[in-house]
Amino acid sequence: MILVFWPILTQMGYGMTFSQVVLCSYAGLRGAVGLSLALMVSTSQKIDQYVKDVILLHVAGIALLTLIINATTTGALVRYLGLSHYSDLKKNILHGLTHQMDKNVTMNIEILKEKRHFNHVDWENLRKSVELLELKNSLKQY
């Protein structure tokens, strides 16, 4: 249905690209309709109990597998389709935050250098460690 209405969806709101159509179709396969129909069958008085149990078991199993498979693969699909890029605003905010964190770390190191309890600290090694942590955290975002 998403593919059928895609020409209309491209003209409405922000529009919709083919990558977004693929993601919506993939992420929408959850089995909710099948589960609701299986629950309706299980409450019916005209169907044998064994048949009701088998239908409910199979539909619930398929819905569970769909959830497990979609949950583990949707992130990879988003990256493959290129839908996880940050906007320039988010990049600027991240850059500003990392710059502010760097200033705060430098200021705190200068304050700690004056304390006699920290006389034997290798400040250069500490600073490099903090920079590596900041770099790892910022790379996780991209």
> Per DSSP, which regions of 9-111 are E strands?
none
pLDDT of residue 17: 87
Dist CA 90 CA 70 (whole Å) = 27
Residue 59: exposed, middle, or buried by beta-carbon count in 10 A (0-12, 13-18, 19+)?
Answer: buried
Which residues of the chain register pLDDT less than 50?
none
- Domain span holding position 37: 6-81
* End position of a domain, from candidates 60, 81, 102: 81
Query: Which DSSP category does 87 fall into?
Result: P
* pTM for this entry: 0.50
* Among candidate residues 51, 81, 111, the one where a domain is terminated: 81
